Amino acid sequence: MAVTESGPMFLKAIDCSNEIKDKDFIAKLMREVIMEVGHSNVVQIVTDNAAVCKAAGLIIEAEFPSIYWTPCVVHTLNLALKNICAAKNTEKNNVIYEECSWITQIADDAMFVKIFVMSHSMRLSIFNSFNSLKLLSIAPTRFASTIVMLKRFKQLKKGLQEMVISDQWSSYKEDDVAKAKFVKDTLLDDKWWDKVDYILSFTSPIYDVLRRTDTEASSLHLVYEMWDSMIEKVKNAIYQYERKEESEGSTFYEVVHSILIDRWTKSSTPLHCLAHSLNPRYYSHEWLSEDSNRVPPHQDLELTRERLKCFKRFFLDMDVRRKVNIEFANFSDGREGFDDLDSLNDRGQMDPKAWWLVHGINAPILQKVALKLLAQPCSSSCCERNWSTYSFIHSLKRNKMAPHRAEDLVFVHSNLRLLSRNTPQYHQEEAKMWDVAGDDFGSLNDCGILEIASLSLDEPELESVFFNDDC
């Protein structure tokens, strides 16, 4: 997939059924596509966080210094959530297990209740009589599966409690009485629901960033700031629940913080820092005044160090690099053409790319770099959704289709969707459902067009279209 400002475009698919998918093979495929598109037109290669993809990305970086390999931010956030919500008792992460095992227990209880209700037609019928929404069947491989499941439980809290205290539930005779009692006791336990609320409160900032980055929209220049703000919001939620002052220590927060920082360290690249440094909003008075701890990017040691790494890779000629550094100094300090009143006032008000188009003429080299970076996504979500298109076209009923035929059909489907975005009918009547698994509903991972429950996720408004529409 190639992603531009106009949206993601399906280029081609490769039949790898008879290949060993090691770093050299993946790097070869990346190299071929880069040469096909033109290496001067490629800013970054975004993949998931698999070790073999990282190794292939490093090979490409060595061959093409101006192209960065960047791991998908959505995958990174999902791994962080998994480490928090599904701690395992091993010697390596024994501390994580001790602090987070209660989260795993709450998630296991919710899964038990869901399976108990959905595994029998009579119990499911009783559930449907008290609830208008459905219990979602979310695979563990899906992004933020635990959080999505608990969010739905919270939405159904009243209906679930009314169900287990109803005459229908009491009069229904079930062989396994112990399981039914466990379900009833769990759903009527206020402490259990308090823990559900707590999990959702401190994971909500992580989940929100995941939703914001799980699109094809330009967000590379927002990731660094979003990650910092996310950690601060997580800390506030935990400290508020534990009723602690900021100066006090929290073992649980330290564990969560270590998981988030570890994931950021493994997935951040100098490109994130450069894109952040070229966003004029982060130099504006409005943004800096929101928090007394904020400093403009040119005064941040980490950002400065990583930005210089990028400049050295992008501009091999020392004279050109010196010009770029001077242009950046003028831009960051608001001088030599950037001291115009409109330029300074627009930093916190205008879209970053629009700002560079209007006010960036005084830094022509830096302007070219900024316009490229400010149009970049930070996730491989378009590829994840593309697998949904494949699963719709190549299904159990159509499993004899040759790879090249499936590729042709996916090419037509994906690129027709891209073209349809430019038509006036795109957001009208039935045509609005064309993008049902796309950005508008913040879908996660591989939403298949026929997977109704997966499409709805935690969007009751979308779910009502499918479950309550008589058409």
Residue 448's pLDDT is: 36
Joined tokens for residue 456: 């709805």
The pTM of the full predicted model, rounded to 2 decimals, is 0.82
- Choice among 30-34, 92-96, 214-218, 396-400 with the minimum mean pLDDT: 92-96
Q: Is the pLDDT of residue 430 over 60?
A: no
DSSP SS3 for 7: strand
Mean pLDDT of 73-99: 75
Residue 16's pLDDT is: 83
Mean pLDDT of 398-424: 76
- Which of the 8 DSSP states describes residue 231? H
Gap between the Cα atoms of 293 and 55, Å rounded: 37
- Choice among 3-17, 114-128, 151-165 with the minimum mean pLDDT: 3-17
Measure Cα distances from 305 to 260, 270, 378 in Å: 21, 9, 21
Joined tokens for residue 213: 């980055």
- Choice among 94-103, 327-336, 393-402 with the minimum mean pLDDT: 393-402
DSSP SS3 for 9: strand
Continuous segment of H or E residues that includes residue 69: strand 68-71
Mean pLDDT of 438-459: 37
Amino acid identity, residue 295?
V
Q: Is the pLDDT of residue 320 over 90?
A: yes
With a CB cutoff of 8 Å and minimum separation 6, the contacts of 88 are 97
Q: Is the pLDDT of residue 460 over 50?
A: no
Instruction: Tell me which residue has tokens 């067009």.
Output: 449
Q: How far is CA 314 from the centre of its chain?
A: 28
- Choice among 9-18, 125-134, 278-287 with the minimum mean pLDDT: 9-18
Q: Is the pLDDT of residue 436 over 60?
A: no
Diameter of the chain measured on Cα atoms: 84
Q: Is the pLDDT of residue 444 over 50?
A: no
Q: What is the mean pLDDT of the chain?
A: 84
Q: How confident is the model at residue 135 (pLDDT cuts 50, 70, 90)?
A: confident
Residue 130's pLDDT is: 92
Q: How confident is the model at residue 137 (pLDDT cuts 50, 70, 90)?
A: low
Q: Is the pLDDT of residue 223 over 90?
A: yes
Measure Cα distances from 128 to 21, 112, 265, 467 in Å: 46, 18, 45, 12
Q: Is the pLDDT of residue 362 over 80?
A: yes
Residue 429's pLDDT is: 57
- Choice among 279-283, 338-342, 399-403 with the minimum mean pLDDT: 399-403
Instruction: Tell me which residue has tokens 């830094």.
Output: 363
Residue 355's pLDDT is: 96
Instruction: Tell me which residue has tokens 């008290």.
Output: 130
Other CB atoms within 10 Å distance of the CB of residue 300: 18
Q: Is the dihedral of CA 36, 37, 43, 48 positive or negative?
A: negative
Instruction: Tell me which residue has tokens 């599966």.
Output: 145
Query: Could you tell me which residue, 411 or 196, shows the higher pLDDT?
Result: 196
Number of H helices, E strands in the chain: 23, 4
Gap between the Cα atoms of 84 and 91, Å rounded: 16
Residue 95's pLDDT is: 67
Mean pLDDT of 252-276: 92
Mean pLDDT of 137-161: 83
Give the strand pairing for 68-71 and 44-47.
Answer: parallel
Q: How confident is the model at residue 217 (pLDDT cuts 50, 70, 90)?
A: confident
- φ, ψ of residue 428 to 5 degrees: the values are -120, 145
